[in-house]
Chain A
Amino acid sequence: MAFTEEQLVRYSRHIILSEVGGKGQKKIGDAKVLIVGAGGLGAPLALYLAAAGVGTLGIADADVVDLTNLQRQIIHHTADVGQSKVKSATDKVGALNPDVKVIPYQKYINPGNALQIFGEYDVIVDGTDNFPAKFLINDAAFFANKPLVHGGILRFEGQLFTIVPKESACYRCVFPAPPPLGVVPSCQEAGVLGALAGFIGTLQGTEVLKLILGIGSLLTNRILNYSALTTRFREIKIQRNPDCPLCGTKPSIEKLEMQEQPEQPVCHLDTVAAAKGDGTP
């Protein structure tokens, strides 16, 4: 389908990039991206991907907007408090770019619905705020054979990497199992700098666009760590792990299951009290 006059103007700064051009912009328009979690990471992701003209944007989140979210979840406004996050995000995306079709999922991704939902998309982005969700999304993206852009933030630190299933290291290649409850605190317990969420989410969005366009080199087989306090980036090499329980040579995970965090051994109770995330990345 040809661009309208308005679209040529709207996307002109993309189209002028030789790496994107009209062809690339059309790829973006044809792309289907699923954002899991409409919180700190999901907010910039949804806004930038919508602005870029991603044709179909799935947004999954079961939560409602809470006042504590507004410090970083910039897609939600004060008037949205109490409103469903998915509805709030859908409204903002619609106002930003009417070219984008939003498919809202007012639910959590679970082992029962993940594969069916993931199957509808070209790229999955993880914007969730808890370990069981992050492991489930990694596993589901692997089984659905979809590229995944992982991200995580805590206090002043963020990390992200891109996973191309069966080609590059997956989350479980690096972290075979989640930590026990309470060992790694959530943002609710330990706090998070608001702008950090925007930064890591925007980097994830950049990876999504590169995946769609097929340009540049992806953040695969390396983790990018960002320390906001020292403004330092560090890259750590990772590689596919032959012993990976998911994508290794003798996988022990053969179907999708919710991976709960084990209870913390008594001897480690000196750390932060165990608690679930607030479900609002």
Chain B
Amino acid sequence: MQAQEPLTVLIAEDSAADRLLLSTIVRRQGHEVLTASNGAEAVDTFERQHPDLVLMDAMMPVMDGFEAARQIKALAGEALVPIIFLTSLTESEALARCLEAGGDDFLAKPYNQVILAAKIKAMDRLRRLQATVLQQRDLIAKHHDYLLNEQRVAKAVFDKVAHSGCLSAPSIRYLQSPYALFNGDLLLAAYTPAGDMHVMLGDFTGHGLPAAVGAMPLAEVFYGMTAKGYGLAETLREMNAKLKRILPVDMFCCATLLCLSFQRRSVEVWNGGMPDGYLHRMASGERVPLPARHLPLGILSAQAFDDRTDVYPMAVDDRVFLLSDGVIDTCDANDQLFGVERLQQVFAANREPDRLFEDIEQALRDFRGQARDDVSMVEVSLLESAQTQGPASAYPESGPSCPLDWSASFEFRGATLRRFNPLPFLLQLLLEVHGLRSQSGALYSVLAELYSNALEHGVLGLDSSLKRDAAGFARYYELRGARLASLQDGFVRVHLQVQPQGEGGCLVIRVEDSGKGFDVARIMERPLDTVRLSGRGISLVRQLGRNASWSDQGRSASVEFFWEIEA
């Protein structure tokens, strides 16, 4: 016989002879024995000495076994204290009463010690099983609390990072569970120094902390590079390389990145593995799908990664709508997917564009009957806005050693122009001059315009008049990609000259290119106008900088910035 741990057994029996006999049997089986001669004594003894198991006579004076069993079960709470009724009862109704009162088993008189030993053993097994279940339940609850607390802390830290962006901008509406991070959903938005807006909706594989862990470095890259003036392509490359390096192979991040430019009236899109986004043109009501053209971030090596973006013209008040797969992958009771078609039916039925989220949520509820917590949606409008300044605190003060009298020249040649974006580097250099920091937005915008004019119209020889309509717009960016990819010769030169002047200083930017130039006089005759799709760059430069001029048949552009010493 397997050795059994001794139990404390309470015997409640009014007949002295039976009590003596039973005590002796149970003691001989190696257990501690407590005795009571009626139900009230049994309850009292139970309260004081917490026996592991009770042998209970049904018929006893003062308080019968049924009532005593009920009280003992109530006192025991969640722990299982098995009660074996001692009975010579034969009617099934009386036996049923024993079970109803909380009894777990019966033992008939006359006692059989072999059966009694077997029953005590079986009840002890149950008792231990219950104790184990309770212990594990408590452990699970403890772990769960621990996990929730960890998530709270992680979320608080993450919110500090994520909310350094501009998700609260008036042009953005979004809907996300507060714990979306732990579903792997990630929504980020920030202004570039030129006032464009970068938006990212990401979806990491997996759930819980593993899904959230990649979000932190991704957000850092997104905000850091956006603030420094990097474009989508460079930011995407950096994100991809970082995730590739830090994530295990089965983890990656589907993502759509947008760059909305009010100045260019355009939206640039990169979609890697996310559901189609939609560009909603308010004038025509048309919804242009923005499909995934790439693998998610964190899969491909740097060499194989494709950072090509699509650019679409966008009018003021047009909207871009992005969503996570939680929307279209919502299942109903029969495992049917909500799907893209139902989403498009919601689009078609939508009468108030501002209530699109609510309509979609309602459709999901109607479809499934309950809400999911991994549904993320974001809608960004192109709003008429004042020139937005970049984040003022992006560059730490570098002390009094501010350079005030210098010049520098750069020449970026074919192979470099194909891949490298020199603007963040140039901007960072210029922002070493403290007096220019307050104009960093205008400075970056002008620099970006002059550089892209020199590259696109000069070196690549693209005709800006192509961009007059949507089709030409697409053609323009197609040509740009193709010509850039095969670029061998050509250059863009950037000359920077900083000089003290009076109480402040002056910056002269001159950008030259190897292109054919253009008819300066004809362009300069146009009125200052920022609303046209083509030829806008020159107007912008003239508005934001001073003394803008073009020479060498348009191949050389010059513009100046001034500042006063602040008191």
Q: Do A and B bind each other?
A: no
Write the residues of chain A forming the contact surface with B, with a CB cutoff of 8 angstroms: none
Write the residues of chain B forming the contact surface with A, with a CB cutoff of 8 angstroms: none
